[in-house]
Amino acid sequence: MTSPLRREDVAKVAKLARLSLSEAELDEFTAQLGQVLEHANDIAALDLEGVVPTAHPFGLINVVREDVRRASLARDDVLAMAPDARDGRFAVPRIMGEAP
Partner 1 sequence: MRSALDIARDVRSGATTAERETASSLAAIRERNDELNVFLFVDEEGALGAARRVDERVARGEEVGSLAGVPIALKDNLCQMGVPTTAGSKILQGWRPPYSATVIGRILDAGAVPMGKTNMDEFAMGSSTETSAYGPTRNPLDVDRVPGGSSGGSASAVAADMTPLSLGSDTGGSIRQPAALCGLVGVKPTYGLVSRYGLIAFASSLDQIGPFAKNVTDAATLLEVIAGHDPMDSTSLPEPAPSLVRHVNDGVAGRRVGLVRELFEGADDEVVAEVGRAATALRDAGATIVELSIPEIHLTLSAYYLIAPAEASSNLARYDGVRYGLRVDGDDVAAMNEATRTAGFGAEVKRRIMLGTYALSAGYYDAYYGQALKVRTQLIDAFRRAYLETDLLLGATTPSVAFALGEKTADPMAMYLSDVFTIPTNLAGDAAISVPFGVGRAGLPIGVQLLGPGRSEARLFAAARVLEVADERS
Nearest of 26, 6, 3 to residue 14 by alpha carbon: 26
d(Cα 98, Cα 100) in Å, to the nearest integer?
6
Closest distance between partner 1 and the C-beta of residue 82, in Å? 6
36 makes contact with partner 1 (CB under 8 A): yes
Nearest of 49, 29, 25 to residue 37 by alpha carbon: 29
Query: What is the contact surface with partner 1 in residues (CB under 8 A)?
Result: 1-2, 5, 9-10, 13-14, 16-21, 25, 29, 32-33, 35-37, 39-40, 42-44, 46, 48, 51-58, 60, 63, 65, 73-74, 77-78, 81-84, 90, 92-95, 97
